[in-house]
Amino acid sequence: MKVTINDVAERAGVSIKTVSRVINNEPSVRASTRQKVLDAVTTLNYSPNLAARNLAGTHSYSVAFIYDNPNAYYVIDMQNGILEACRAHGYELLIHPSDSKSSLISDDLCRLVDHGKVAGLVLTPPFSETPSIIETLKSRNVEFVRIVSSHSTEAIEENCIQIDDYQAAYDITQYLLALGHRRIAYLSGGEEHLSTLGRLQGYCKALEEAGIAIDRQLIIKGEYSFESGEASAKEILHSDTPPTALFAGNDEIAAGALFAARLLNIDVPGKLSIVGFEDSPFSRQTWPKLTTAHQPNQEIARSAAELALSRIRCKGAQSCHGNGLESSDKIHRSFTPQLVIRESTGPAP
């Protein structure tokens, strides 16, 4: 027999309304009462019908994940992190891939908010870094949290999850410099992402501090893909004075660069060191395995969803007191990807 909310209320010794308030994560429930209800839910293995809750009233119990990223590993990690937070708080996850280059993207998101009964959104780059989209969502009665690339806390205008790509790229470049490399090429990803600029700036800063002039011929524009990495690496490695190290904007680019080096019979890392970024499965599926910067995408996504859900609950309670969401707070959490040293890097030849 299916367990109902009445069964939970009877076992916990509270009213059905109290059970509903606990399930909906409303803040105005005493801790002892909340625990009794949660214990009853666990014992009875009760699962509320989320679809029915969404249809029953004006309050939505769905969070939308908005993305435009060709990297399936990134998307899966983000999805799993958001889903973990949603399940913990009794919300559903709506996955909404979109075309960031479409002129109709703002209209698309407005339709999602206006007709999809979405309580909140988690925005990933480039949507989270596009001013027109941010302004459009501000005009809607919906909570949203952005995952953004930024080195400076002053650059953040809304509650967000910050990724310090600048510092991580600086650390990677310093590592290559410590190995004796002086001609270090940077293989860039798509310029619509602020992370691309942050990683480039971190690379340039480390070189400048080492007294090495920035050589624009060593900076190759591209996309965040294996094919782009292969093409960019072939271009730079065919130059008259090729680099001894390649810093790729992500692991897919680095894997493509490694493939190009193999086609050109260049020993890695004996003659050429290659570094990626993000620590995706690409970095561990190559040979040699790639030195990279570990970016905990699932944890980042979970933190973003937790912040969105906190803001939703805060909004429903008409008060942010006790939720850690005072109006002066701008950044909920900041992440700096950490260097992971593997077999694709070695001393300069």
Strand boundaries in the chain, DSSP class E: 62-67, 92-97, 120-123, 143-149, 160-163, 184-187, 219-220, 245-248, 273-275, 292-294, 331-335, 338-340
pLDDT > 90: percent of the chain: 55
At residue 337, does pLDDT exceed 90?
Answer: yes
**285-298 pLDDT per residue, tens:** 999 999 999 999 99
pLDDT at 157 (0 to 100) = 57
pLDDT at 316: 57
Tell me the pLDDT of the chain averaged across its residues: 86
| 9-25 residue pLDDT tens | 888 998 877 877 777 66
Span 43-62, average pLDDT? 61
User: Taking the alpha carbons of 249, 255, 261, 264 in that order, is the dihedral positive or negative?
Assistant: negative
**pLDDT at residue 305 tops 70:** yes
CB 308 within 8 A of CB 234: no
**Distance between CA 120 and CA 159 in Å, rounded?**
13
pLDDT at 319: 46
Lowest mean pLDDT among 27-41, 49-63, 67-81, 188-202: 49-63
What is the pLDDT, as a whole number, of residue 37?
85
Q: Which two tokens stand for residue 261?
A: 């080096």
* Nearest CA among 243, 195, 185 for reference residue 219: 185
269: preceding bond cis by omega (within 30 degrees): yes
Pairing of strands 292-294, 338-340: antiparallel
pLDDT tens column, 257-273 = 999 999 999 999 999 99
| pLDDT band, very low/low/confident/very high, at 44 (cuts 50, 70, 90) | confident
Q: Are strands 273-275 and 245-248 parallel, antiparallel or unpaired?
A: parallel
What pTM was computed for the model? 0.80
Buried b (16+ CB within 10 A) or exposed e, 141-178: ebbbbbbbbbbeeeebeebbbbbbbbbbbbbbbbbbbe
Q: Which domains, from first to last, does the chain contain? A: 5-48 (1.10.260.40), 59-164+296-335 (3.40.50.2300), 165-295 (3.40.50.2300)
**pLDDT score for 321:** 45
pLDDT of residue 26: 66
